[in-house]
Chains A and B, each alone.
Chain A
Amino acid sequence: MIGASSPRKEGRAKVLGTAIYTDDKFMPGALHGLTVRSEVPRGILRAIHFGEGIPWGEFTLVTAADIPGTNLVASVVDDQPFLIGIGEEITHSQQAVLLLAHADRHLAEKARRAVRLEIEELPAVLDIQSSLDLQPLIYGADNLLKEIRIAKGDPDPVWAQAAHVIEGEYRTGAQEQMYIEPNAMLSVVEPKNGVLQVTVWGSLQCPYYVHGALKQLFGLPEKQVRVVAMEMGGAFGGKEDYPSVNGGHAALLAWKSAKPVRLIYDREEDLACTTKRHPSRTRLRTAFAEDGTLLALEADFILDGGAYATLSPVVLSRGAVHAASVYRCPHVRIHARAVATNTPPPGAFRGFGAPQSLFAMERHMDICARKLGLDAVELRRKNFLRMGDTMATGQVIREDLDLAGLMDRALTAIGYRDKRAAFALTNPEDGPIKRGVGFSVFMHGCGFTGNGESHVASVAGVEGLADGTVAVLAASTEMGQGKNTVFAQIVAEALQLPVDLVDTAPVDTDRVPNSGPTVASRSTMMVGRILEDAAIGFKQALVQQDFLAEPYTPETFQAAVAKAVATLGSLRCYGQYHRPPGLQWNDVTYQGDAYPTYSWACYAAEVAVDLDTCEVKVADFVAVQEVGRVVNPTLAAGQIEGGVAQGIGWGLWEEVTMQRGRMINNQMTNYIIPTSVDLPRIQVIFLENAHAGGPGGAKGIGELPMDGPAPAVVNALENALGTLRLDEVPMTPDRLLERCEEVTHG
């Protein structure tokens, strides 16, 4: 079962068009909810005016004053209100002020436009530098949402002694997840057995995040809140933290109206107001010995965290830990800050801070190689982490890590040496097309950073059903990554059953325990491992209670389960996360095992640049990764290919254009993700290396492919075009033209 390409569990419903996504769920009598937003980046809300010509009496209206519990979205830091009240401060352009609902969705839209907000505008902070300069102060005492320092050794004495010190500054832009299904929520709030019951169905990654947010919003105990994850049309982190906001909004309208409410964002709204990847600025300083040995590294890593902390502290944490990347370095200092700006809060997006800091480091290594007169391959080879080495956090590499082998495999697969030699001959010729090949080497920490897993203490289980089949009980959600299938394979493997006898229970907080959020490349490795334990416990329970005798066949097993369920009424077995022995982490000093393990990779890209238009075509792409044991090769390859596509998009085209703190290209026509003709075939190569942590030796793979493409593509651009200021993504044609002109115009 593990290692087989079992077909996707919910695949049949998806190809038939019968899978029920949130907006597909029929709810008779439902109202259509809409959100009125501030549109100015900062100010004081003075009044809400309701325009003429709208039958306002027919509308359900919710303002901050209506909120029954706490007007703060439960998150890492509870600083974001669900709604801004009169007299309160608006801190970004998409701040929700008023919720309205009506049975006629067209009239609701007309009403939304008839509302006028009276806002006393205040000066706003719209970029990283203004925030650092406290121009003006908008958050806390210093505009910092979070600050982290990681130290190893002492770089200071090294700068003066080293043969070479090289500095660089790198920037990355915001990126939209662009799941094809926009954010969507349904809610019903009604009395049940004499107490208020809040139910939300939605497109959401983390049912228990939304559950926690609703408890706090309504001031209700756990049992009176229910969250159900519907089929999800993609997420990529974009439905990790935001659903706590729109889930709360839907529930407020349902509560106030005492009717079912649909809160379905259209694309324009989704793009304008939901979370994005954090923009970043990274300054790196590295010291090298004459032979290219890395002696010291200093990183100043800054994320634009937007108006509220939301997930920025943990995004920053992952970005900071990944800042030193895959290199051995005795002296490291990492200073990481998430700064507040008056922009809609960014949030989770595949990679979660790591793509930003890894882009900087992998561009920097190529630039260092050039400045040192060394080959980029050999400079990396000399400095790679190996077994026994210590990372910046003091974590010791305990696995037999062979990054050089990984790199060589990727370079061979793309024909790196031959292409470099060929392009060196062809590029100087006349003609607008210049070609290049480049690569990046990187890692991605599996699971939460530091003590995250211990804090969540995830629970997952298996349940016997009346027909003798087995259901997986976990709050982990299916967003297209293949969780339903992989979990079934893991449980089937543990029970020695065909995968057809295992399926997933609906992800409904009334039914499944909190297996933690579906994020951080943790589901297969962390929840899968718990499920493996639960499955073994389940089998032992069947044996101990004499329902099952070993050895068994699938038929005798199924009969045993059916009999047990008939006899006992129900049969469930749960497992819980236990910190593996030997792992240690200090949240204050940022020292210890930042992650239980890492996935490792080398990605190589070939590009063709048309100097007439500065358009870049990625002509070939190789993704080599070591991700432990691959549970389902077809699904895993699909994850890698999709992540690479997103990474190439971030590197070349995907730009969030802001004006006065507002995204102005908030249409699919104007935010450019790759189509089928914009991407090459991606060669995906897995190097398996069974690791003890995950089920059957699996590691996480979901985010890894987001980290490597942008630096690989930009490194290839430098190979094609020579020395340009290629320090930023996306390297759009406009930006590339500018950089080319810097050289030609001096």
Chain B
Amino acid sequence: MADRIDLTLTVNGADHRVSVPPFARLLDVLREDLRLTGTKEGCGEGECGACTVLLNGQVVNSCLVPAVQAQGAVVVTVEGLADGERLSSLQAAFLAHNGAQCGFCTPGMLLSATDLINRCPNPSDDQIRDGLAGNLCRCTGYAKILDAVHTAAADTGAPR
């Protein structure tokens, strides 16, 4: 049995090579090997969504992704959303609307919302609720998050 396997993956635009146990989780590779601690663990069973990242452009629960399946993949975490100091329109809207309270669900929520706006640039309340149903929040009752996503969608969709 191999002690470790070597993986290469692109995270937030940077290429990384890591050596990890064969059945390490993507979540642990991100948090421990790459020290990208913005991605959180809230349940370890794909229920809360705090560990949500984009894997090859799709939202996934990184606690349920064997790292071996991320070999050669492109991963985006919360740390990859801003352009340097410039917040993405969703990040700015979350800040403006108080969409982040305790902030622990926020990284996952932002990634699910980013994915939603990519797929559906002008979402209704119901579409936002559906898109974020896998990200549990215990602070907000979701209202301020819905407001933030609407605002960001309007910003993103505005004619340039």
Q: Given the interface contacts A17-B39, A676-B129, does A233 sit within 8 Å of B104 by beta carbon?
A: yes
B138 and A23 form a contact (CB under 8 A): no
Interface residues of B in 55-92 (CB under 8 A from A): 77-79, 81-82, 87, 91-92
B14 to chain A minimum Cβ distance, whole angstroms, is 15
A611 to chain B minimum Cβ distance, whole angstroms, is 24
Among B35, B47, B141, find the residue whose CB has the most chain A CB atoms closer than 10 A.
B141
Kindly state whether residue A481 has any CB partner on chain B within 8 Å: yes
B2 to chain A minimum Cβ distance, whole angstroms, is 16
Closest to B99 in A: A15
Question: For residue A14, which residues in chain B have a CB less than 8 angstroms away from its CB?
Answer: 100, 103, 106
B131 to chain A minimum Cβ distance, whole angstroms, is 8
The listed residue (A19, A21, A642, A679) touching B139 by CB distance below 8 A is A642
Closest to A647 in B: B141
**A84-92, A174-182, A327-335: which lies at the B interface?**
A174-182
Question: For residue B1, which residues in chain A have a CB less than 8 angstroms away from its CB?
Answer: none
B44 to chain A minimum Cβ distance, whole angstroms, is 6
Interface residues of B in 74-130 (CB under 8 A from A): 77-79, 81-82, 87, 91-92, 94-98, 100-107, 110, 125, 128-130
Closest to A271 in B: B43
Question: For residue A309, which residues in chain B have a CB less than 8 angstroms away from its CB?
Answer: none
Question: For residue B146, which residues in chain A have a CB less than 8 angstroms away from its CB?
Answer: 676, 681
B133 and A15 form a contact (CB under 8 A): no
The listed residue (B50, B92, B98, B138) touching A634 by CB distance below 8 A is B98
Closest to B145 in A: A676
A194 to chain B minimum Cβ distance, whole angstroms, is 35
Question: For residue B37, which residues in chain A have a CB less than 8 angstroms away from its CB?
Answer: 17, 20-21, 23-24
Q: Given the interface contacts A15-B87, A15-B106, A231-B103, does A267 sit within 8 Å of B141 by beta carbon?
A: no
A203 to chain B minimum Cβ distance, whole angstroms, is 9
Interface size in chain B (residues, C-beta < 8 A) = 56
Q: How far is the CA of A177 from the CA of B136 in the complex (A)?
A: 13
Question: For residue B36, which residues in chain A have a CB less than 8 angstroms away from its CB?
Answer: 17
* Chain A interface bracket (under 10, 10 to 19, 20 to 34, 35 or more): 35 or more
A404 to chain B minimum Cβ distance, whole angstroms, is 27
Question: For residue A267, which residues in chain B have a CB less than 8 angstroms away from its CB?
Answer: 42-45, 48
Among A13, A14, A179, find the residue whose CB has the most chain B CB atoms closer than 10 A.
A14
Kindly state whether residue A545 has any CB partner on chain B within 8 Å: no
Pair count A-B, CB < 8 A: 177
Question: For residue A20, which residues in chain B have a CB less than 8 angstroms away from its CB?
Answer: 37
The listed residue (B45, B82, B128, B139) touching A669 by CB distance below 8 A is B45
Question: For residue B39, which residues in chain A have a CB less than 8 angstroms away from its CB?
Answer: 17
Closest to A677 in B: B129
The listed residue (A7, A21, A177, A481) touching B96 by CB distance below 8 A is A7
Question: For residue A180, which residues in chain B have a CB less than 8 angstroms away from its CB?
Answer: 40, 42, 48, 50, 102, 104-105, 136-138
The listed residue (B35, B101, B136) touching A673 by CB distance below 8 A is B136
Fill in one digit per residue for A674-715: 1 if any B CB lies within 8 Å of its CB, else 0: 011101011000000000000000000000000000000000
Q: How far is the CA of A679 from the CA of B126 in the complex (A)?
A: 11
Closest to B143 in A: A641
Q: How far is the CA of A13 from the CA of B106 in the complex (A)?
A: 11
Among B36, B43, B101, B128, find the residue whose CB has the most chain A CB atoms closer than 10 A.
B101
Interface residues of B in 19-41 (CB under 8 A from A): 31, 35-41
A181 and B42 form a contact (CB under 8 A): yes
Subset of 23 A-B contacts with CB under 8 Å = A7-B98, A11-B98, A14-B106, A15-B78, A15-B87, A15-B110, A17-B77, A17-B79, A21-B104, A177-B138, A179-B138, A180-B136, A180-B137, A181-B104, A231-B103, A234-B138, A234-B139, A267-B44, A480-B103, A634-B144, A646-B138, A673-B136, A675-B134
